[in-house]
Amino acid sequence: MSLIEQATAAFVGHFNYAPSHDFRAPGRVNLIGEHTDYNDGYVLPAAINFGTVVVAAKRSDQIIRACAVNFDEEIVTLALHEPMVSVDPFNWSNYLRGVCQQLLNKGYPLVGMDIAIVGDVPYGAGLSSSAALEIVLIRTLLAMSDASIDPTDAALLGQRAENDFIGAQTGIMDQLISARGQADHALLIDCRQLTSEPVPFDPDFKIVIFNSNVRRGLVDSEYNTRRRQCQAAASTMQISHLRDADLALLERFSHRMDATTYRRARHVITENERTLLAASTLANRDWATLGELMQASHNSMRDDFEITVPAIDGLVALIQEKLTPGMGGVRMTGGGFGGCVVALVHKSQTGQIIEHVANHYHAAFGLHETVYICQAVDGAFVAH
């Protein structure tokens, strides 16, 4: 069954009538530009054809009933006229509560509704299942309330819900690409100006995501540590964000930093440079240079930012063994400490690379990879 069919079946099963509307928001994969977004830098993500769907129908009161298909069809009931209070920190409904709180605080006149939610973005894989949920909820709540919002404002609101209500200090990239992604394109996003430039994909190349299935147990604490280290480096260089630094400035102030802080800053500065160059090389179909940039990005995440793990490094190496030089690239993607590897692969090589990983990854690391062949799709707020 499709996601809409799954959501509709759950809706009818629990609420005993059919929904009137459906909405979708995509997950994302970041091609290059890791840990640059909260440093006011550049990222190059694509919205992917794995996402979150909501089906909905209006109610005549101020009650929201929500069914989460992915969480044993748990039903949550909220009253819009009552304060939104966080429950168990790991409960999915906090995303609904946080989004409702942000919309109500902004003065949006929300109406009651019944909704069912289902998604196929793998949880905990670094493909932004949380942002897809936030953005599809914002789209649903406002559309059903006959209200509208600018897509960038929707992304900012989703980010605030995650930062302030959920307590995860994420940057803006995930919500922005879920809201504004463009089919058959990546988006070069300037995380300071919140502007984006579409970058076309070569249709002969596939986005292939390999989920390492390494549990990402350290990601939250280490993510916050990396943010503090980046801010410390910026403060030492007397700038607001590492976006404003180059390697020459870093060298001038290197004697005032410990070695770890220096390496964290070096990753962000060089990653911003790589991301800008990657956008032009992708547009020009310069696959040799793009592959080199993705390799340099991965090495920098491994050595300077220290967010890879052996299974991720091994997965990248396995893919490189079968990837014809000059015909694509591969790197870790996401916050780190597990999660996914993204490869841009010519369609003629996709099958043999997937087979090679299948034959060797489990033997080396005792884990089974999950593979997603993706295409770039429109964001939730892109007109159809």
N-terminal to C-terminal alpha carbon distance within the chain = 23
Domains 3-199 and 201-374 are alike in CATH topology: no
Report how far residue 105's alpha carbon sits from residue 146's, in angstroms, rounded to the nearest whole number.
Answer: 17
Helix (H) or strand (E) holding 106: none
* Per-residue confidence (pLDDT) for residue 87, from 0 to 100: 84
CATH topology for the 3-199 domain: Ribosomal Protein S5; domain 2 (3.30.230)
* Per-residue confidence (pLDDT) for residue 223, from 0 to 100: 83
Instruction: Write the CB contacts of 117 (distance below 8 Å, at least 6 apart in sequence).
Output: 7, 52, 53, 54, 66, 67, 68, 69, 70, 133, 136, 137
Name the 3-class secondary structure at 366: coil
Of 174, 202, 244, 258, catalytic: 174
The tally of CA atoms less than 13 A away on the side-chain side of residue 2 is 9
Pick the CATH number of 201-374 from 3.30.70.890, 3.90.1150.10, 3.30.420.10, 3.30.565.10: 3.30.70.890
* Per-residue confidence (pLDDT) for residue 224, from 0 to 100: 84
Report how far residue 298's alpha carbon sits from residue 345's, in angstroms, rounded to the nearest whole number.
Answer: 16
The widest CA-to-CA distance across the chain, in whole angstroms, is: 68
Report how far residue 263's alpha carbon sits from residue 132's, in angstroms, rounded to the nearest whole number.
Answer: 32
* Per-residue confidence (pLDDT) for residue 167, from 0 to 100: 83
For the sheet containing 340-346, what is the strand order? 328-333, 340-346, 205-211, 370-374
* Per-residue confidence (pLDDT) for residue 127, from 0 to 100: 72
pLDDT by residue for the chain (384 residues), tens digit each? 999 999 999 999 999 999 999 999 999 999 999 999 999 999 999 999 999 999 999 999 999 999 999 999 989 999 999 999 988 777 899 999 999 999 999 999 999 999 999 999 877 666 778 899 999 999 999 999 999 999 999 999 999 999 999 888 788 999 999 999 999 999 999 999 999 999 999 999 999 999 999 976 656 688 889 999 999 999 999 999 999 999 999 999 999 999 999 999 999 999 999 999 999 999 999 999 999 999 999 999 999 999 999 999 999 999 999 999 889 999 999 888 888 999 999 999 999 999 999 999 999 999 999 999 999 999 999 975
* Domain ranges (residues) in the chain: 3-199, 201-374
Q: Which two tokens stand for residue 126?
A: 């670094």
Task: Assess contact for 297 and 268: CB atoms under 8 A.
Answer: no
- Is there a catalytic annotation at residue 174? yes
Q: How far is CA 280 from CA 19, 147, 196, 287, in A?
A: 44, 38, 14, 11
Report how far residue 173's alpha carbon sits from residue 28's, in angstroms, rounded to the nearest whole number.
Answer: 9
